Structure 1
């Protein structure tokens, strides 16, 4: 079992695109913020392949970056970071991405991380976008062994002064065998508020957005054994010494 939220000081959430975190886990993040956890978001891309209109592609990334910052603020997160050099739709679990995530782990020094699943979930195929899988794989490699190993990226220590760091808990979203529900009934409205900040991705959905997300979270709650009427996000959780 993971530690109580109020025993965690810092958490790092890693996603491939703006809005991934908000669809997957913003309700859970809000519960952590309420418990006093300092949460940082790390986005690998700026999502320039997303959208449903004729906005010039070169404008999409900056728009989505600002949407993500506003969405994070809606659940109380104010440290939002973006990596440079990674293209939406082209993410691979390279050594360079592993290093770049390791760098942020050593900067933030989180006891807990939340990442995307590196394993495809055929029952939730849209959640298993190839960029999500690649980001999840690079993140888990960064968590173990790279970020904790002083010999993995010696330049991070030598040139940047970033000491190795051990992450103790990992929450994995959209995993095919998720079994750890987090009750987000009380933070549901903040999750929806965060999703509505992604106007370029959700404005066309209207009231359908809230209905769709509520249905997802109701099914998660039932799968996790929560009482009727509750809403949940659900994860696989692994603990590391």
Structure 2
């Protein structure tokens, strides 16, 4: 599924913290929105444990939310939901899962985008416990809860009927799970600008940008894209496709 495919009309993207989506998928998101795709963000934690400044931290969550809103606008996204869970303590609970199911049923996306639930031993920084929890919560919400009419019946009573998600794309996946690359060469500047907005998280902006650019170029080489290309890579999982066998 390419980002400009006509059948992709709506995408719902989940992250554990403000800035996660921008590091993992802002280029792809920008390509989608440029093609007219409607993208919604959901940030699960308040980001209150982020940054490097000691002292008064009472405004950290507000600052990071504003950074995320500004970064999202650069990628063409204006619809953002903040669940407000405590940074570093995101847990796979029925309460959080229900919130995610409700949002999936409300948005009814063609693609759900999420962090990966498996630990990446090659780069453990990609596997913050909140990242893993985000991936597990979203996976449970996508299947079977969102499509099971008997899961969270109170949602159906609110008019949020069961919905079958066609595709689940993970970013930050272990390398052996990656099976899909998106050429984001035309959107690298947008991605870097979106990441740069999260100024509270970057003690070394130049180093960060160099590392991101090198990663994007390595992704492109690994997936056989032309020399000089940049790519974001995903573990794309077909949940309800033409090949899916129905049932719980």
- TM-score, scaled to structure 1: 0.95
Question: For residues 81 and 182 of structure 1, what CA distance do their matches in structure 2 show?
Answer: 25
Question: For residues 148 and 166 of structure 1, what CA distance do their matches in structure 2 show?
Answer: 5
The within-5 A match list for 1:95-114 is 95-114=94-113
Q: Name the structure 1 match of 2:172.
A: 174
After superposition, the C-alpha distances for 1:150-205 in whole angstroms (9 at most, x for unaligned) are: 110000111x2111111101111111121211111100000011011111112x32
Cα shift at 1:38: 0.2
Contact 2:3–2:31 (8 Å) recurs in 1: no
Question: For residues 25 and 106 of structure 1, what CA distance do their matches in structure 2 show?
Answer: 22
Cα shift at 1:55: 5.2
Query: Unmatched 5+ residue regions in structure 2?
Result: 241-248
Q: Name the structure 1 match of 2:206.
A: 207
Cα shift at 1:213: 0.7
SS at match of 1:5: coil
Choose between structure 1 and 2: higher helix proportion.
Answer: 1
Cα shift at 1:106: 1.0
Matched, 1:121 2:128: no
127-136 vs 51-60, which moves further: 51-60
Cα shift at 1:223: 1.5
Distance 1:41 1:128, change over 3 A: same
- TM-score, scaled to structure 2: 0.92
Aligned residues: 238
Cα RMSD for the two superposed structures: 1.3
Q: Name the structure 2 match of 1:69.
A: 69
Question: For residues 226 and 55 of structure 2, what CA distance do their matches in structure 1 show?
Answer: 44
Q: Name the structure 1 match of 2:215.
A: 216
The within-5 A match list for 1:125-204 is 125-158=124-157, 160-176=158-174, 177-202=177-202, 204=203
SS at match of 2:182: strand
Question: For residues 143 and 240 of structure 1, what CA distance do their matches in structure 2 show?
Answer: 8
Cα shift at 1:2: 6.1
